[in-house]
């Protein structure tokens, strides 16, 4: 039969495909949000672990966690309003993770709970033995958690999320040269170039305004860090890349707004306005990166460039073509989309984190002006009138180094890092744990434990680092702003170099204090950020 010129056989097939799709979606949703978490929860309950009851409809504890955090924020704001900035409290656990103390009181040292839909997690305690066992794991027993939220932003197979150990090793081998000394010299140069442009503008503004100027630098910091992160990854393709990264920004906001999705394919199946916008932003972002890649390939084909370049994109393009980084050669070649995902992940990992760390450094230097003077003096003694130009010079700046270490202890940009049990038959601290169980760590507690850091753990004291890690803390596994074990941050040396270059240039050009309008409210976004900006009162040292 023919209806409106279409054969019914075709319509029937279409209907059948649609029905299969709907059944698949429902089954997937049931498996991910009901079956798997309940299986994990049953296992843990049988082993004697308790925790807060899950809400009936969402099967998680997100609602009560939200309420608990709102109450904690209110209490924090009340306390801060009374004490002002004269005493910055670094006791952030009651503000950021107030639930842990409550739950521990009710359910014991270790408990299980579901902070978001579809994931049962254990709070196993933030002791270094757990860090060694789980973060230090070199097998596939504990791996990166399955999170559609992160998948959507970075791509599941990208460095940072990839689960397959051979593929992960290949990706680390590929990016490693970028973080070696030779390339780090370029990092120092690029960071310095971008920072000096910014500083000159700021100097002009400050000088024109008279003596000293109160300014919120949070917007400037985000743009500056974004700029040199883009230059590090895309080199001379900076202009075109910047356009694409506007889509990245939009994508992040939209994905947060949507609150995640049970399965990425549902974005296509449910064409709501938000889903369509997410798909559009992701596509535009990918298209932009692909165009830059194509441009490079074209230049090499035409002989305008001898290689794909030594920036991050160039290194990855070369590896994709030559199969570099593969020891066994048994892995499939990277597709164009794989390369796009790698680039997205590296960009994501590099800019929010550095921007957050630089913000906290300026806030703390503006508060502890005695340390600002001490670092300024050290810079003059080491460099004279010059500025940092070599990586080597950073090694002689002890006070600056101590200040950075202490800032990252109390204000780690990524305070919470998660893992998931990926195999059957795994034990955690000698106890069997089921596949699919999430494991939470947070450095807010870990970096403040008095038994590891001493009775002054809640105080900001850079001098605790005077004798290195061993002098500061009783256990080397207790300091992890860059993570721990095989999956430790690939860019940690680069990030530390960038931060030191930024701080040293800023201190050489400005004398500054935290503005009296500053309100101390560390807030979780993609990283931990100052909730009310970075307002400083700035005075230029060298007038333009």
Residues contributing to the site for ligand HEM (CB under 6 A): 159-160, 172, 346, 349-350, 353-354, 357, 412-414, 417, 481-483, 487, 489-491, 494-495
Q: Cβ closer to ligand HEM: 170 or 509?
A: 170
Least separation in angstroms between CB 487 and ligand HEM: 4
Q: Which is nearer to ligand HEM, 65 or 443 (CB)?
A: 443
Instruction: Give residue number: closest CB to ligand HEM.
Output: 491
Are the beta carbons of 441 and 142 closer than 8 angstroms? no
Which helix or strand (DSSP H or E) is residue 514 part of? strand 510-514
Least distance from ligand HEM to the Cβ atom of residue 532, Å: 21
How many angstroms separate the CA atoms of 62 and 52, rounded? 11
CA atoms of 414 and 254, how far apart (whole Å): 21
- With tokens 């409210």, the residue in question is 521
Question: Measured from the CB of residue 31, what is the shortest distance to ligand HEM in angstroms?
Answer: 25
CB nearer to ligand HEM: give 387 or 492: 492
Nearer to ligand HEM, 49 or 460 (CB): 460
CB of 267 to ligand HEM, least distance (A): 25
One-character DSSP codes across 464-476: GGTTHHHHH-S-G
Name the helix (H) or strand (E) containing 214. strand 212-216
Kindly report the backbone phi and psi dihedral angles of residue 444, in degrees, each rounded to the nearest multiple of 5, phi listed first: -65, -45
Q: Are 196 and 505 in contact (CB under 8 A)?
A: yes
- Whole-number minimum distance, CB 470 to ligand HEM, in Å? 22
Closer to ligand HEM by Cβ: residue 80 or 242: 242
Q: Which helix (H) or strand (E) holds 95?
A: helix 93-96
Asked if 262 and 29 touch (Cβ cutoff 8 Å), the reply is: yes
Give 112 or 346: the residue with its C-beta nearer to ligand HEM.
346
Which CB atom, from 98 or from 412, has the smaller least distance to ligand HEM? Answer: 412
Phi, psi for 473 (deg, rounded to 5): -150, 150
Give the separation between CA 133 and CA 147, rounded to whole angstroms. Answer: 22
Q: Is 473 annotated as a binding residue?
A: no
Contact (Cβ atoms closer than 8 angstroms) between residue 480 and residue 133? no
Q: Give min distance, CB of 347 to ligand HEM, in A.
A: 8
Residue in 487, 337, 359 with CA at minimum distance from that of residue 413: 359
Least Å from the CB of residue 178 to ligand HEM: 8
For the annotated binding site for heme, the residues are 489
Q: Which residues are annotated as a binding site?
A: 489
């Amino acid at each position: 039969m023919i209806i409106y010129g279409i054969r019914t056989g075709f319509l029937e097939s279409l209907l059948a495909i649609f029905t299969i799709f709907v059944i698949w979606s429902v089954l997937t949703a049931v498996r991910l949000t009901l079956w798997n978490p309940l299986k994990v929860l049953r296992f843990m309950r049988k082993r004697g672990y308790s925790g807060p009851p899950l809400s009936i409809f969402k099967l998680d504890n997100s609602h009560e966690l939200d309420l608990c955090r709102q109450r904690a924020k209110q209490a924090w704001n009340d306390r801060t309003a009374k004490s002002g900035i004269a005493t910055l409290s670094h006791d952030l656990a009651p503000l950021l993770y107030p639930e842990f103390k409550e739950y521990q009181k009710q359910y014991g040292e270790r408990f299980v709970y579901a902070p978001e839909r579809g994931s049962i997690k254990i709070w196993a305690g933030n002791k270094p033995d757990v860090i060694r066992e789980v973060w230090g794991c070199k097998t596939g027993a504990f791996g990166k958690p399955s999170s559609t939220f992160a998948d959507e932003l970075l791509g599941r197979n990208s460095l940072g999320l990839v689960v397959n150990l051979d593929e992960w090793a290949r990706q680390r081998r590929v990016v490693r040269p970028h973080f070696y000394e030779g390339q780090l010299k370029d990092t120092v140069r690029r960071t310095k170039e971008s920072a000096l442009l910014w500083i000159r503008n700021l100097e002009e503004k400050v000088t024109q305004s008279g003596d000293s100027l109160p300014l919120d630098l949070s917007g400037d910091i985000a743009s500056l860090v974004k700029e040199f992160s883009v230059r590090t990854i895309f080199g001379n393709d900076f202009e075109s890349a910047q356009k694409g990264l506007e889509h990245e920004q939009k994508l992040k906001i939209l994905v947060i707004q949507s609150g995640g999705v049970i399965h990425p394919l549902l974005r296509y199946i449910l064409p709501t306005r938000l889903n369509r916008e997410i798909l559009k932003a992701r596509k535009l972002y990918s298209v932009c990166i692909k165009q830059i890649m194509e441009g490079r390939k074209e230049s090499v084909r035409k002989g305008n460039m001898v290689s794909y370049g030594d920036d991050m994109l160039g290194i990855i393009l070369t590896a994709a073509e030559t199969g570099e980084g593969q020891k066994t050669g048994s892995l499939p070649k990277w597709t164009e989309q794989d390369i796009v995902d790698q680039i997205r992940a590296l960009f994501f990992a590099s800019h929010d984190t550095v921007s957050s760390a630089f913000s906290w450094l300026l806030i703390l230097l503006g508060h502890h002006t005695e340390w600002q003077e001490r670092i300024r003096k050290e810079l003059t003694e080491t460099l004279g009138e010059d500025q940092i130009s070599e990586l080597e010079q950073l090694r002689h700046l002890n006070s600056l180094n101590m200040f950075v270490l202490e800032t990252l202890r109390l204000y780690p940009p990524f305070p919470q890092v998660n893992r998931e049990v990926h195999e059957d038959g795994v034990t955690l601290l000698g106890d069997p744990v089921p596949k699919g169980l999430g494991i939470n760590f947070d450095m807010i507690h870990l970096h403040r434990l008095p038994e590891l850091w001493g009775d002054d753990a809640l105080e900001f004291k850079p001098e605790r680092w005077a004798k290195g890690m061993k002098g500061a803390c009783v256990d080397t596994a207790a300091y992890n702003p860059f993570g721990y074990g095989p999956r430790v941050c690939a860019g940690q040396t680069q990030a530390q170099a960038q931060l030191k270059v930024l701080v040293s240039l800023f201190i050489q050009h400005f004398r500054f204090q935290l503005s009296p309008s500053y309100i101390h409210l560390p807030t979780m976004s993609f990283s931990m950020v100052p909730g009310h900006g970075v307002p400083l009162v700035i005075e230029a040292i060298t007038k333009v």
